[in-house]
Amino acid sequence: MEEGDAAIALFVDAIGSQQAWLSILILAAASFIQATVGFAAALFGLPLLLWAGNDLMSAQVMIITAMLPQNLFAVWKFRRHIEMREVAAPMALRLAGLPIGIYGLTHVLQWSPAQINQLVGFILLLAVLMQGLVGIQWKSADRWYWIAVIFGGSGVLQGLTGMSGPPMVLWVHGRRMSIDRARAFLFTMYIANFPVQILLLAARYGTSVWKAMMIAALAVPGVMLGAVWGLRLGSWLGEARVRPLSYIGLLCLALYSLLWPVIRSWWNW
């Protein structure tokens, strides 16, 4: 009975603030953006969740939890394009990098909000530059050292910030994978890290993780609706229009995060 009361109290605490409902709206918007442009749920959602008042750990838990149903559906849809021999080594390297990133997160959470925003802005700007290279053939992408750097580094980024997609996107497109095969590969990577990441974070941060997951669970209907609308909008606009608009939006978010201390000083002036 006490456990039930504690769960109810945690649920009420999770949804009882304006910050929680604002976070739910942001998660739905992130899903809409990802469905429209084909990537960037974390790239768009994470900075906005930080500005809404969430800490970096809670923000990344919300992102990976809210997007899990969408990722599971995508893996099921593209399951015929998944080759286990191809995903096994990258998956293992990515999972090996996760604890390193989560260890780094414990130190980053001690930084000031301005410093955390600048870190996110720097990684976001780097991600935008990497996304701009998508489509360029990468002839040495299959070399073992590039696989180790890309997927080990992606695991570290996933544990540190939750923004780990761009290196992998660059790698799959550099290898000239078909679009369905690339999607199957990427969504498999995203799903594989979820249980390990949640367990590691829960062991370190306890109830804060479950609270963030509850908020994300409430966002799932909006996330799925945003995905449906985003797919329709993306098809209507076409890739030629969607890509430049998405890069402009990401670039604005990156610069705003990097320049946050300066902007804040202007507001206080």
User: Residues 151, 93: contact at Cβ < 8 Å?
Assistant: yes
Q: What is the predicted pLDDT for the residue at 96?
A: 96
Distance of alpha carbon 5 from alpha carbon 77, whole angstroms: 39
Question: Do 131 and 243 contact (CB within 8 A), yes or no?
Answer: no
Summary count for the chain: helices (H), strands (E): 13, 0
**How many C-beta atoms surround the C-beta of residue 52 within 10 A?**
18
The reported pTM is 0.84
pLDDT of residue 74: 80
Phi first, then psi: give them for residue 142, nearest 5 degrees: -85, -5
Q: Given this model, what pLDDT does residue 106 score?
A: 92
* pLDDT given at position 99: 96
Buried residues in 141-162 as b, exposed as e (16+ CB within 10 A) = beeeeeeeebbbbbbbbbbbbb
Quote the number of domains for the chain: 1
CA atoms of 170 and 125, how far apart (whole Å): 15
Q: 63 with 30: CB under 8 angstroms?
A: yes
Between CA 193 and CA 186 the distance in angstroms is 11
All residues at 6 or more sequence positions from 225 whose CB lies less than 8 Å from its CB, including other chains: 28
Residue-number span of the structural domain to which 23 is assigned: 2-268
Question: What is the maximal distance between C-alpha atoms in the chain?
Answer: 60
All residues at 6 or more sequence positions from 118 whose CB lies less than 8 Å from its CB, including other chains = 257, 258, 260, 261
**Tens-digit pLDDT profile for residues 188-212:** 998 999 999 999 999 999 989 999 9
To the nearest 10 degrees (0 to 180), the angle between helices 113-131 and 41-51 is 160
Contact, 149 vs 94, CB < 8 A? no
Q: Which helix (H) or strand (E) segment is 166 a member of?
A: helix 165-174
163: alpha, beta or left? (left if phi > 0; alpha if psi -120 to 50): beta
Please give the Cα distance from 199 to 194 (Å, whole number): 9
Q: Select from 162, 182, 164, 185 the least CA-distant residue to 173.
A: 182
Weakly modelled stretches of the chain, pLDDT under 70: 1-16, 37-39, 134-136, 238-240, 242-243, 246, 260-269
What the block records as the tokens of 50 is 């930080």
Residues 201 and 145: their CA atoms lie apart, in Å, by 29
Per-residue pLDDT at 134? 66
